[in-house]
Amino acid sequence: MFGFAKKAIEIADKHNADFADIRIIETRRQTLNVKNGELGALNDSVTLGFGVRVLFNGAWGFASSDVIASREVERVTRLALDIAKASSTLKNKKARLAPEPAYQDFWQTPFITDPFSITAEKKLDLLFAVDKILRKDSRIRSAVSGMNFIREHQWHMTTEGSRIEQVLLSSGAGYLALAVDKDSAQVRSYPSTHGGQTLSMGYELIDSLDLVENAERVRCEALALLSAPPCPSGAKDLIISGNQLALQIHESVGHASELDRVLGYEESYAGSSFATIEKLGKFRYASPIVNLVADATLPGGLATAGYDDDAVKAQRWHIVKNGILSGYMTNREFAGRIGQNRSRGSCRADGHNNIPITRICNLSLMPGTISASDLIKDTKDGIIMENNKSWSIDQKRLNFQFGCEIGWLVKNGKKTTMVKNPTYQGITPEFWNSCDAIADENSWRLWGVANCGKGQPPQTAMMCHGNSPSRFRKVKIGVKSSD
Amino acid sequence: MQNHKTICARIMRLAGRCRTEVIITSADSALTRFANNVISQNVSNTSTDISVRLMDRGRMTRFSLNQFSEVALKTAFAAALASLKTQKKDPLLLPFSSSVPISASKNLFFPGTAALPPDERAARISLLIKKCKKSGATAYGTYENGAVATTVANNIGVNAFYKESYAVYGVTVRDKDGFGWAEELASDATQIDFARVDRIAMEKARLSRNPRTIKPGRYTVILEPAAAADLMFYLGIYGFGAQFCQEGQSFVAGRLGEKVMSSEITIEDNALDGPSAGMPFDYEGQPRKKVTLIDRGVARAIVHDRKTAALARTTTTGHALPMPNTSGPIPMNLSLAKGSTSMDEMIKSTKKGILITNFHYSNLLKPLTVEITGMTRNGTFMIENGRVTYPVKNMRFTESAVDAFNMVESVGDKPETYLSWGRVSSPALKIRGFNFSSATEF
């Protein structure tokens, strides 16, 4: 493939481009779903294509195609050059890339079992077994279980001399049961919502999830929610973990720390960020026990790779250190704007047909010191919320509201009544500064976000957010549309 | 753009006697994005995606690819046929449909729009940026264009093809701490009133400087078309699809024929004509029918694919997504019928209320009531005694869209159309007692 890629580099060099790269990507996906006893999806997909990015006279152009032919790579590279020339008519100052050594390397996601070597029959047998348990009660009106596997083979070549080949693998699985009665529709999911748990692993992830073993509990909890009292309104100590805390990290710290947003380059769509650059190193984002670390080297992380799509080597760095804003997600174009002489390597594209943009890396809340059980024992008047159901945050990443599938009240150190439709609202720095306890490493887990949308045209990216159960003091809960 | 007929012929030849359905989607797309008064991203993409569904005596599988050489297709077919043999029989699996006549929809393909070059997009954007620089404001947004062609075919007679072009010009302007926004969508880029979009976004940004904090609570609101269309989108997805109704998740489940909204509200799904027209067939190759979903507040119908129609013992309305899927049929060409009240009249008749340009990051809380939360964005203003008096800081709403559509007092006379999941067209709406649950700092 590098032979094919070379053509684009030669054309860009011939035209004296400041920088150019070509990414050729072959993606294999398999999606399987079972819904209410029927096959919901069984799709095997293979795509191949390339994207050429050109920086010319300090301005960007990008073009892509799925026609793998010498004449097409010429056309696409010349188109990218023309687009860059059009961009350069409306620029302020020339875009410059932070320096990075050239690499010739191969990197691959470690795995034990190739998920594509497991037959569809075996995978579907597991999903049908789960489905059967979920639908043992007629009040379960919808049961959906599924698996997803993606293998992305990348060949990345730059005018700076990098030739990087990577094979990134992810596996995911999960299910939900929807219980409906006259007044309510309640859902429970396992292991998490939004498609289940996805990590950069092989089929061993699926084997580790105990999908069948948890199905009965999930069904029973969905049914119990129908008659559970609603989440009370007021201020309570909130304990969250799992994919809810992952999404809290994602929305209120991850996106807020993307440097392109901070600098205004996402204003027209997803918005900007309150975490502006004059706050770097000074702003108390969270209580001193909070450490949030970005890490592209994290085993199992969905953003883990040898290199990002700027050809920058994977790194680990603090976004929030002892509660203080300490870093951003950066690409090579914007790193210099905050005085960094090297990008953190957080620039990624969705497939071959999108331009790389600044992305959230794996971003995890470091474990604390208290055990998860003592965290509950130590809480007098609180609520535990589990599994994200809805999310919304404002365009500067300040005011947020989350809804979860299920809640349990905590009274004098004991988990008590189950409640339905739990929600909470907050303002990002106030919320993170109210964090007064984080459970230790024994309950720390990695949670995948496999559907992060950003950019125009829209792109999807994947990343992980590790966390252990954490407590936030006096949070506004039980937000209602009507009294 | 690739020749769909050639690709289809190659696939059907390889399929032989195996029942086969093909969906081909080709797209040429380009987008120029600007921010901080410069072009920040500028991209172009050419793609063809082929999705093939095979069926054999109650068994089914699907594969997809974007390479259609003989070798690539033969390899994919061999793997899919092997997978097909291992599937369990599904007694409920519907066979493919045979050919059904499809009515022509209005022409939405304009070659000039499909092929708009990057320098023309840049030239258009430069006019806005000059105006913004002159007034001390900053421009953000996108100008995108392209064309999409879709074929749905099978080897028992279905063969439907459709092509459309599109152009979208969307502008956000920041003027100190004020923000404004406007957008226009057209199949023919020459129909976009660029100067109007620029003017509205700049004017809103200027007027929304120095916003004041107000207390969250219930207010009369005037939702401009984009904000109203956002609520419509959620009603469409979670309210009017037959599968959601059959599962008991929709607010119209068991309520067809009942009044469920204000009598000011009439909603239809119409791919054939009107402001949300588009592809005249669905992903089973069935003609999309015009369906009146809400008629003066009364729930009249829902949309079906062949599977939900069979369960309900009715016929499909032509609203299938690619099969199989877990979502069921979805209305993708929604429009809310315009009323007779102008924006000026809505404002003049309001003693105290809030004018909302757009919503941001809305998300569903409860499907049965279509309860949604989200933020106001890009121009939120207080109305007092029939006049817009001052800008207000953005607020979070937490409200049932069904309740909100029950509290509609008047409907605007100028609908606008937006792209979301399909097209949604809505005029402005004046709604009583709309709930804001909290505020933010800007």
A174 CB within 8 Å of a chain B CB: no
Render each residue's pLDDT in chain B as its tens digit; 442 residues. 779 999 999 999 999 999 999 999 999 999 999 999 999 999 999 999 999 999 998 999 999 999 988 899 999 999 999 888 888 888 889 999 988 999 888 899 999 999 999 999 999 999 999 999 999 999 999 999 999 999 999 999 999 999 999 999 999 999 999 999 999 999 999 999 999 999 999 999 999 999 999 999 999 999 999 999 999 999 999 999 999 999 999 999 999 999 999 999 999 999 999 999 999 999 999 999 999 999 999 999 999 999 999 999 999 999 999 998 989 999 999 999 999 999 999 999 999 999 999 999 999 999 999 999 999 999 999 999 999 999 999 999 999 999 999 999 999 999 999 998 899 999 999 999 999 999 998 9
Phi/psi region, residue A478 (left: phi>0; alpha: psi -120 to 50; beta: rest), is left
Of the candidates A42, A357, A427, which has its C-beta nearest B61's C-beta? A42
Q: What is the DSSP letter of A77?
A: H
Closest alpha carbon to A105 in A155, A170, A37, A34? A155
The Cα B181–Cα B251 span in angstroms is 32
CB contact under 8 A, B64 and A79: no
The Cα B63–Cα B243 span in angstroms is 24
CB contact under 8 A, A427 and B326: no
CB A147 within 8 A of CB A206: yes
pLDDT tens, A226-258?
999 999 999 999 999 999 999 999 999 999 999
CB B44 within 8 A of CB B87: no
A264 CB within 8 Å of a chain B CB: yes
Amino acid at the residue B80:
A
CB contact under 8 A, B39 and A45: no
Closest-CA distance, B103 to chain A, in angstroms, reads: 30
Cβ-Cβ contacts under 8 Å for B273 (sequence gap 6 or more): B105, B106, B290
B86 to chain A: which residues are within 8 Å by CB? Answer: 119-121
The Cα B144–Cα A458 span in angstroms is 12
CB B434 within 8 A of CB B218: yes
Closest alpha carbon to B272 in B282, B283, B262? B282
CB A236 within 8 A of CB A383: yes
B31 to chain A: which residues are within 8 Å by CB? Answer: 456-457
CB A404 within 8 A of CB A387: yes
DSSP, residue by residue, B301-369: --B--HHHHHHTTS---S-PPSSS-SS-----EEEEPP-SB-HHHHHHT-SEEEEEEEEEEEEEEETTT
Every domain range in chain B assigned CATH 3.30.2290.10: 4-196
B125 to chain A: which residues are within 8 Å by CB? Answer: 90
Residue whose structure tokens are 């410069």: B38
pLDDT tens, A356-405?
999 999 999 999 999 999 999 999 999 999 999 999 999 999 999 999 99
pLDDT of residue A481: 66
The Cα A13–Cα B124 span in angstroms is 30
Cα dist from A321 to A299, A327, A408, whole Å = 21, 9, 31
Of the candidates B62, B80, B90, which has its C-beta nearest A38's C-beta? B90
| Beta pairing class for B352-366 and B218-223 | parallel
Cα angle vertex B438, ends B204, A460, to 5°? 70
Query: A371 in helix, strand or coil?
Result: coil
According to DSSP, the residues that pair with A139 across neighbouring strands are none
Structure token digits, residue A79: 């188109």
Structure token digits, residue A35: 């819904």
CB contact under 8 A, A83 and B44: yes
Q: How many CB atoms lie within 10 A of CB B239?
A: 28
DSSP3 helix / strand / coil % (chain A, rounded to 5): 25, 40, 35
Q: Chains A, B: CB contacts under 8 A, how many?
A: 272
CB contact under 8 A, A49 and B47: yes
Cα dist from B27 to A10, B47, B114, whole Å = 28, 5, 10
DSSP, residue by residue, B30-58: EEEEEETTEEEEEEEEEEEEEEEEEEETT
pLDDT of residue B166: 97
Residue whose structure tokens are 């024992």: A377
According to DSSP, the residues that pair with A443 across neighbouring strands are none
Amino acid at the residue B386:
G
Amino acid at the residue B387:
R
CB contact under 8 A, A394 and B47: no
A119 to chain B: which residues are within 8 Å by CB? Answer: 86
Cβ-Cβ contacts under 8 Å for B297 (sequence gap 6 or more): B259, B260, B261, B262, B263, B264, B265
Burial A403-436 (b: 16+ CB within 10 A, else e): bbbbbbbbeeeebeebbbbbbbbbbbbebbbbbe
Residue extents of the structural domains in chain A: 2-227, 234-477
Q: Rounded to 10 degrees, what is the CA torsion of A103, A108, A109, A113?
A: -170
Q: Is the peptide bond before A457 cis (omega within 30 degrees of 0)?
A: yes
CB B412 within 8 A of CB B338: yes
Closest-CA distance, B55 to chain A, in angstroms, reads: 12
Cα angle vertex B291, ends B288, B297, to 5°? 160
CB B356 within 8 A of CB B224: yes
Amino acid at the residue A98:
A
Amino acid at the residue A235:
A
Render each residue's pLDDT in chain A as its tens digit; 483 residues. 999 999 999 999 999 999 999 999 999 999 999 999 998 889 999 999 999 999 999 999 999 999 999 999 999 999 999 999 999 999 988 999 999 999 999 999 999 999 999 999 999 999 999 999 999 999 999 999 999 999 999 999 999 999 999 999 999 999 999 999 988 899 999 999 999 999 999 999 999 999 999 999 999 999 999 999 999 999 999 999 999 999 999 999 999 999 999 999 999 999 999 999 999 999 999 999 999 999 999 999 999 999 999 999 999 999 999 999 999 999 999 999 999 999 999 999 999 999 999 999 999 999 999 999 999 999 999 999 999 999 999 999 999 999 999 999 999 999 999 999 999 999 999 999 999 999 999 999 999 999 999 999 999 999 999 999 999 999 999 987 654
Closest-CA distance, A8 to chain B, in angstroms, reads: 16
Closest-CA distance, A481 to chain B, in angstroms, reads: 5
Give A 106-145 residues with CB within 8 A of chain B: 119-121, 124, 128, 141-142, 144
DSSP, residue by residue, B156-224: TS-EEEEEEEEEEEEEEEEETTEEEEEEEEESSGGG--HHHHHHHHHHHHHHTSSPBP---SEEEEEE-
CB B235 within 8 A of CB B299: no
Q: What is the DSSP letter of A277?
A: G
Residue whose structure tokens are 């997805």: B237
E strands present in A91-183: 104-108, 140-158, 163-180
* Fold held by A2-227: PmbA/TldD fold (3.30.2290)
The Cα B323–Cα A40 span in angstroms is 8
B365 to chain A: closest CA residue: A390
pLDDT of residue A483: 43
Cα dist from A382 to A92, A379, A390, whole Å = 52, 6, 21
The Cα B271–Cα B93 span in angstroms is 27
CB B132 within 8 A of CB B118: no
Of the candidates A82, A184, A457, which has its C-beta nearest B31's C-beta? A457
Q: How many CB atoms lie within 10 A of CB B64?
A: 20
Q: Model-level pTM?
A: 0.96
* CATH number given to B4-196: 3.30.2290.10
